[in-house]
Amino acid sequence: MIRRTKIVATLGPATDDPAVLERLLLAGVNMVRLNFSHGDADSHRRRAQQVREISQRVGISVAVLGDLQGPKIRISRFTDGKVMLKRGAEFCLDAGLGKNEGNEKTVGIAYRDLPGDSQPGDVLLLDDGRIVLEVDRVDGDRIHTQVKVGGEISNNKGINRQGGGLSAPALTEKDKEDIVLAAEIEIDYLAVSFPRNAKDIELARQLLRDAGGKAFIMAKIERAEAVADNVTLDSIIQASDAVMVARGDLGVEIGDAELIGKQKEIIAHARRLNRVVVTATQMMESMIHNSLPTRAEVFDVANAVLDGTDAVMLSAETATGDDPCAVVEAMSRICIGAQSHRSVTISRHRVDTTFSSVEETVAMAAMYSANHLEGVSAIVCLTESGTTPLLMSRISSGLPIYAMTPYPATQRRVALYRGVEPVPFAIEELPEGELELRALAELRERGAIKTGELVIMTRGDKLGVGGGTNSLRIYRA
């Protein structure tokens, strides 16, 4: 059975061995993530090049995601590396303190504007919410707090404010440098961290285009402001090509109880607006060191599949884990198991709405036909840009969508779309009907379809022109 939900794997020290990376890709990874929060430019160049070389050699399309660090607000360092904070104790965050002078009473902060953003009563969350501080008062560069939830805290841990609202811009100077790097190594997707609104996405896109990059832009939904209302959420989604449900920081800012519903909401909004959506953070975290996932992790991944996510993402599990390939194999099994549920093949996407483009009309007609005509085994899309298979993938179906295109960049991009399989195929000007017959022959040779099966195929009259899909035909292979 073809796995419809895609897998994103973060690269790191655990995947640097070319043999391990090859096994990882063959295990079913559809997109690799370069985390610009760690590593240097040379390591990102090397990893991207390794992925391209290996994927080309083994004959699979794998997208590359560059993930910007964003304005990660952190404490500085402690003299002894870590301290224990006790509940009820006073603790000070001091923007004027030296980088390595922290102790059990105070620590420096890298974001010097945090005191100006804080006021009495604010709740500050350190280390993904493991430490909870309540602001008593602000005195110049010093934020005086009381420890509400204590524990051990070490160097450089992140700071969030419950409810969001910190003024840090989405793109830092480091991000702008990394955007130039992303353009240089020709990544396929660029993830923007902590966007507050659509303008942050538009700025990232402009900077990328100015640097010569053509990547799709992925908005990481991880600020409380981004999900405060549907207007803001939808504007961010519409400004992007894809979104990520970044559950770590988002969960810290809005609380775990509210996160459950927000994940479903973000996925539903992204699919309704014809955008790709990735669900991320701690999906298989126990497998960083363990050989099997917990039952909770199995249900978490399966629930995201049932929600309709295009992809599920692995972070430290593959970047620094003991057995990255085993994690991908386990995640793949869970996705395949979840997709067998009947709800995954039922959809009312845009059933009650009208369409403004011929391309979307043809795509929706193809999927409706595929889901209601007995004997159809596949949907085939001859595509230039990949837009038609994206539109098709918004409809739930148990049938594979084969995106046949001659362009490697399109092949890599569509590799992330739920239920879409990229197929390299030279689209040429041929006599009427011959191009379609050649496409069917290619799929038969690959074992994707069998002789005699019904196949729905879409294409445009004008070859070599993106966005021109205007015909639908049904063939017997």
In terms of DSSP H, where are the helices of 382-476? 387-393, 408-414, 434-446
Asked if 409 and 381 count as a contact pair (C-beta separation under 8 A), the reply is no
CB atoms within 10 A of CB 186: 15
Asked if 455 and 440 count as a contact pair (C-beta separation under 8 A), the reply is yes
Residues paired with 201 in a beta bridge: none
What SS3 class is residue 454?
Answer: strand
Asked if 132 and 221 count as a contact pair (C-beta separation under 8 A), the reply is no
Crossing angle for the helix pair 256-272 and 247-254, nearest 10 degrees? 130
DSSP H/E element including 476? strand 469-476
Residue with tokens 């909401």: 265
In terms of DSSP H, where are the helices of 73-217? 114-117, 173-184, 198-210
Smallest Cα–Cα separation from 319: which of 9, 6, 23, 7? 9
Phi, psi of 472 (to 5 degrees): -135, 130
Query: Any idea which residues carry the catalytic annotation?
Result: 33, 74, 220, 281
Residues in the chain: 477
Residues paired with 338 in a beta bridge: none
Angstrom distances, CA of residue 345 to CA of 288, 348, 417: 32, 10, 16
Residues paired with 102 in a beta bridge: 78
Q: Is 218 left (phi over 0), alpha (psi -120 to 50) or beta?
A: beta
What SS3 class is residue 229?
Answer: coil
Smallest Cα–Cα separation from 44: which of 22, 11, 20, 72? 11
Pairing status of strand 31-35 against strand 63-67:
parallel
Burial 266-285 (b: 16+ CB within 10 A, else e): bbebbbeebbbbbbbbbbbb
